Amino acid sequence: MTSSRALPRWRQQAALHWRMTRPGFLMVTLSACLVGLASAAQAGPLDGGLALATLLLACVAHAGANVLNDWQDALNGADAANHDGLHPFTGGSRLIQQGAVDARQTARWSALLLLSLLPAGTLLAARSGSGLLLIGAAGLLIAWAYSAPPLKLMSRGLGELAVAGAWWLVVLGADYVQRGQFAAAPALLGVGIALLVACVLLINGFPDARSDASVGKRTLVVRLGPRRAALLFAALVLLAHAWVALCAFAWLPWPGAAWGLLSLPLAATGAALLWRHARQPQRLRPAIALTIASANLHALALAAGLLTHAPR
């Protein structure tokens, strides 16, 4: 029987481990999954159990990658050197720096989350098809390569590309679990959300640029400088929405895909604010919030539009 003293301690530890995953960012993974599920719904009814399993495993993968990133940024000194971050958006969870956990605990938690995907993903693949193993393996590779040596893609200016690839795989995987095969539709529909998630990472690099540079973490913002990085951000925003417009009106027979354009005003406003304050990163909190909101709105609106036009 659990004692009255043990229960609060258990709750405290559970809450701490939940905070380590940076749960505020998991919404974008749920949203991307919904795009894949809505894509699959064009081909037939969805399996609710498989859909829930997909949402859960995708969030565990994202959580594990977040914790792994905190561990690696503790090892390379980026988070300790970061005094300009805009919490909770940038600079990691800060739990190691606050003394709430140590690097070893963080490493164990990331390993537990990511390794739990192996048996769970294998079981899901047994239901859906072996192609899911390829998607899962690619996702785990990106999660590791983004933060950890020897690749450390985040330090080589390739972090945004890696993140775009990861969220594209989320859409592709959510669709595959339902169809049991690869399809062109999720591969096309996933591009817009992938680009907008890359924008989230890109804009988050502005407040962290000084500390990143001090420890040799050569992100795109560090490499390009604030002005050119802001131009790249605007280009990615325009490309994401131009792509979904092409999907809706040229490539796919689904007018509902045009709903993804609803995120353009938010994303464009974020781009304008970023251009104005690119050299004043402490003033970027509203732009970062708009960028995150635009990525979620894009995915949710796209999924809603597709489901509205799904076969009955």
What tokens were used for 109?
Answer: 């938690």
**Percent of the chain scored above 70 by pLDDT?**
97
Please give the pLDDT value at position 3. Answer: 45
More confident residue, 187 or 89: 187
- The amino acid occupying position 7 is L
If pLDDT is split at 50, 70 and 90, which confidence band does 230 have? very high
Please report the DSSP string for 131-196 in residue order: HHHHHHHHHHHHHHHHHSTTT-GGGTT-HHHHHHHHHHHHHHHHHHHHHSS--HHHHHHHHHHHHH
Q: Residue 4: is its pLDDT beyond 80?
A: no
> In Å, how far are 63, 118, 119, 120, 130 from 123, measured between CA atoms?
20, 9, 6, 5, 10
Q: Which residue has the tokens 């914790």?
A: 67
pLDDT in tens, 40-86: 999 999 999 999 999 999 999 999 999 999 999 999 988 888 888 88
pLDDT in tens, 299-310: 999 999 999 876
More confident residue, 6 or 258: 258
Please report the DSSP string for 193-259 in residue order: HHHHHHHHHHHHHHHHHHHHHHTT---HHHHH-HHHHHHHHHHHHHHHHHHHHHIIIII-S-GGGGG
Q: Residue 129: is its pLDDT beyond 70?
A: yes
If pLDDT is split at 50, 70 and 90, which confidence band does 1 have? very low
Is the pTM higher than 0.75? The answer reads: yes
Is the distance from CB of 237 to CB of 267 less than 8 angstroms? yes
Q: Residue 14: is its pLDDT beyond 80?
A: yes
- Domain positions in the chain: 11-308
Among candidates 127, 131, 120, 117, which has minimal Cα distance to 176? 131
Q: What is the mean pLDDT of the chain?
A: 93
pLDDT in tens, 281-294: 999 999 999 999 99
pLDDT in tens, 193-215: 999 999 999 999 999 999 999 99
